[in-house]
A and B are shown apart, each in its own frame.
Chain A
Amino acid sequence: MGRTTIEKILARTSGKEVVRPGEIAVCRPDIVIHIDLPMAIEGAWYRPRKVFDPQRVAVIFDHAVPSPSIKDASAMAEGRRFAREFGIKRVFDVGQHGISHVVAAEHGLARPGELLVCADSHTCASGALNCAGRGIGIPDTLQAITRGTVWYLVTPTIRYEFKGELGPMVSGKDVFFHIAQTYGGHGGTSVEYGGPGIRALAMSDRRTMATMSAEIGAEFAIFDHDEVTAEYLKGRLDRPATPVHPDADADYLGVRTVDLAEVEPYVILPHSVPRNGVRLSSFNQKVRIDQAFIGSCANGLIEDLRVAARIVRGNKVAPGVRFIVTPGSQAVYLQAVREGLVETLVEAGAVVTNSTCGACFGYHMGVLAPGEVCITASTRNFKGRMGSPEAGIYLGSPATVAASALTGVITDPRSVAGSRASTSGDSGDD
């Protein structure tokens, strides 16, 4: 019986020929990424006495940068001290920072066929680059940093075969929503994304989809490697890529075909993701918003900012709406400045913040008050996620969020001028 991509990577890193569902694989990570938050949570971080391989450890500050509190400042001082003590060279301090999953992709730390370890739940972002990753929490990250081991339950895999191409104003975020809506939770399974349609999925769409796979509870989520992957990684890797492909006779729990042409923009209702969405074409509620947010590891990429700028260009954010845009990294920020996107967004009335996890986890730079409503192109809509538990959080694509920021109500992006395409939906009622 053939092997899936994840089974192959877990087998190699655990020194085995084959691993099968039900087993626990104890693996040696190819790279461990340490972030600031574990050191800011009192009691969570213990100073290591040894590091298994300083070449394979990177430090990236992302959750609270620049520091909004003494506690966070102290955490990052500890991170710098840790890096100095063990001679860790890959340190992305304030100025080189960004959301760790975004920085890992940009700087070639997430390499095809390899195993990336990080505490954060959206570590599955690396799957866009054919790199196995899943959030493991803080104790296991300490174990990976010190002992160089990490355990994974080998789970069955569900494969998605894509065909067709996305319509205008439909993004990878909507493809993920379509999967979450159609198939619900994926707990206890890994997910493989492939098929002829992935050629038409830009790397930014893949990164959104891989990242969001945490929200359907997938163990690992990984894309096939193709020319789009190779093109993105050109000039980013410090050693040759070793892509892993699934065997033709790999043993899947299921193989599901998704026609990208049939995917429509969705809105996900508060307070959970799986099977909690509505296609915007049939969304009849008039939901007024107080805040619109584009950012996070899922949607802080340059392509997301481009879509937002295109939609708001020459328009103004609706009165009473706060439109917050957080680039995913310093590199994205710089590119947005160079392309004039920051100017366009700010002219429209948006706030473009420093790159950080910030508003997505309700910690700083966009926290919600009781009774407020937010439409967000970030990762989660849990009760209390972005601030008050009395706030309502709706999820949408960057296009949907930008369109909603202009109208002040949750809006199908295909119905606003900047999107060019016009549809026959019941829009324009405002």
Chain B
Amino acid sequence: MTDGTNLAYTGRVWKFGDLINTDMIMPSAAFRLPGNEQHTLCFEAIRPGWAKQVRCGDILVAGENFGMGSGRPIGEVLRACGIVAVVAESINGLAMRNCVNAGVPALNCPGVAALLDDGDTARVDFLAGRIENVAQKKSLQVLPLAPLLAEIVSAGGVIPMLLKEGYLHAQPFVPASS
């Protein structure tokens, strides 16, 4: 269950290791796909078929240096896969903003790799900075999501904010593909 207004999420955990990079989340082949198919290649190089197994409301747990790499829209890809929250031992600065800006909250959580495993149910409270293994009743306390970033996530990301403020045309640009 997810309570978007309080930025607290309970969901099934998918656990990945250290050094998960942007090219694993969105390989360059995905650039050529229609918007609604770009997420289908997510983690295909390291966990084939994952994009079909993940469900809406799931939580991504990762190790050190999650999201290192490029500026490609990994937050949108993860969101399209159904991921509602990202917690990792450490998160690359650009990856952090690309998640938050897509409305997917992300937190640096040293110790989270030992707290949660694949298939566990996690509860992540971004405003309190609390991550819990629900079955084991164990939890971690970390620095909460900064207020400005919480505001962006609550608005659904940067694009919805800019749309609401009248800075953008309502529909995304669609490049011709044939």
Q: Could you tell me which A residues sit within 8 Å of B by CB distance?
A: 24, 26, 37, 39-50, 69-75, 78, 119-121, 134-140, 142-143, 146-147, 151, 153, 155, 185, 187-188, 214-215, 217, 219, 272, 274, 361-363, 380, 382-385, 389
Contacts of A39 in B (CB 8 A): 173, 175
Please name 28 pairs of A and B residues whose Cβ atoms are closer than 8 Å in the assembled complex, sorted by A.
A24-B148, A41-B72, A41-B73, A42-B174, A44-B172, A46-B172, A47-B168, A47-B169, A48-B169, A72-B175, A74-B176, A78-B175, A121-B22, A134-B93, A136-B94, A137-B75, A137-B98, A142-B162, A142-B167, A142-B168, A143-B167, A147-B167, A153-B93, A187-B90, A187-B92, A187-B93, A272-B68, A384-B24
Query: How many angstroms from the CA of A361 to the CA of B30 in the assembled complex?
Result: 12
Contact with A along B29-68 (1 / 0, CB 8 A): 0011111001000001110000000000000000011001
Quick check: A120 and B162 within 8 Å, CB to CB?
Answer: no
Q: Using known A-B contacts A143-B162, A153-B93, A362-B28, determine if residue A43 contacts B76 with beta carbons closer than 8 Å.
A: yes
A63 → chain B closest CB, angstroms: 9
Is B5 at the interface (CB under 8 A from chain A)?
no
Quick check: A42 and B94 within 8 Å, CB to CB?
Answer: no
Contacts of A383 in B (CB 8 A): 21, 23-24, 45-46
Query: How many angstroms from the CA of A75 to the CA of B171 in the assembled complex?
Result: 16
Quick check: A24 and B146 within 8 Å, CB to CB?
Answer: yes
Quick check: B159 and A142 within 8 Å, CB to CB?
Answer: yes
Query: How many angstroms from the CA of A138 to the CA of B102 in the assembled complex?
Result: 10
Quick check: A389 and B94 within 8 Å, CB to CB?
Answer: no
B30 → chain A closest CB, angstroms: 8
Quick check: B31 and A147 within 8 Å, CB to CB?
Answer: no
Contacts of A185 in B (CB 8 A): 64-65, 68
Q: Name the interface residues of B100-137: CB closer than 8 Å to any CB of A.
A: 101-102, 108
Quick check: B35 and A42 within 8 Å, CB to CB?
Answer: yes
Contact with A along B1-41 (1 / 0, CB 8 A): 00000000000000000010111100110011111001000
A69 → chain B closest CB, angstroms: 7
Contacts of B169 in A (CB 8 A): 46-49
Give the number of residue pairs across the A-B interface with Cβ within 8 Å. Answer: 177
Contacts of A121 in B (CB 8 A): 22, 69-71, 94
Contacts of A272 in B (CB 8 A): 19, 21, 68
Quick check: A146 and B174 within 8 Å, CB to CB?
Answer: no
Quick check: B172 and A45 within 8 Å, CB to CB?
Answer: yes
Which one, A137, A147, A188, A385, contacts B71 given CB within 8 A? A137
Closest-by-CB residue of B relative to A75 is B175
B72 → chain A closest CB, angstroms: 7
Quick check: B172 and A135 within 8 Å, CB to CB?
Answer: no
Q: Using known A-B contacts A39-B175, A380-B69, A382-B24, determine if residue A139 contacts B45 with beta carbons closer than 8 Å.
A: no
10 nearest CB pairs, A to B: A43-B35, A389-B45, A139-B158, A74-B175, A146-B167, A42-B35, A74-B176, A46-B168, A139-B101, A137-B98
Contacts of B73 in A (CB 8 A): 41, 44, 137-139
Contacts of A147 in B (CB 8 A): 162, 165, 167
A123 → chain B closest CB, angstroms: 8
B156 → chain A closest CB, angstroms: 11
Quick check: A188 and B93 within 8 Å, CB to CB?
Answer: yes
Q: Using known A-B contacts A134-B93, A217-B68, determine if residue A70 contacts B31 with beta carbons closer than 8 Å.
A: no
Query: How many angstroms from the CA of A120 to the CA of B94 in the assembled complex?
Result: 10
Closest-by-CB residue of B relative to A146 is B167
Contacts of A138 in B (CB 8 A): 71, 73
Closest-by-CB residue of B relative to A218 is B93
Contact with A along B142-178 (1 / 0, CB 8 A): 0000101100000001110111011111011111111
Quick check: B21 and A135 within 8 Å, CB to CB?
Answer: no
Closest-by-CB residue of A relative to B171 is A46
A22 → chain B closest CB, angstroms: 9
Query: How many angstroms from the CA of A326 to the CA of B157 in the assembled complex?
Result: 37
Q: Using known A-B contacts A39-B173, A139-B102, determine if residue A48 contacts B23 with beta carbons closer than 8 Å.
A: no
Since A137-B94, A139-B159 are in contact, a sample of 12 more A-B pairs with Cβ atoms closer than 8 Å, ordered by chain A residue number, is A42-B172, A47-B169, A48-B168, A70-B178, A121-B69, A139-B102, A142-B158, A188-B108, A274-B65, A382-B22, A384-B45, A389-B46
Quick check: B168 and A119 within 8 Å, CB to CB?
Answer: no
Query: How many angstroms from the CA of A75 to the CA of B172 in the assembled complex?
Result: 12
Contacts of B19 in A (CB 8 A): 272
Contacts of B102 in A (CB 8 A): 139
A211 → chain B closest CB, angstroms: 13
Quick check: A49 and B175 within 8 Å, CB to CB?
Answer: no
Query: How many angstroms from the CA of A139 to the CA of B68 in the assembled complex?
Result: 18
Quick check: A382 and B71 within 8 Å, CB to CB?
Answer: no
Contacts of A44 in B (CB 8 A): 73, 76, 172
Query: How many angstroms from the CA of A103 to the CA of B94 in the assembled complex?
Result: 22
Contacts of A215 in B (CB 8 A): 68
Query: How many angstroms from the CA of A49 to the CA of B45 in the assembled complex?
Result: 39
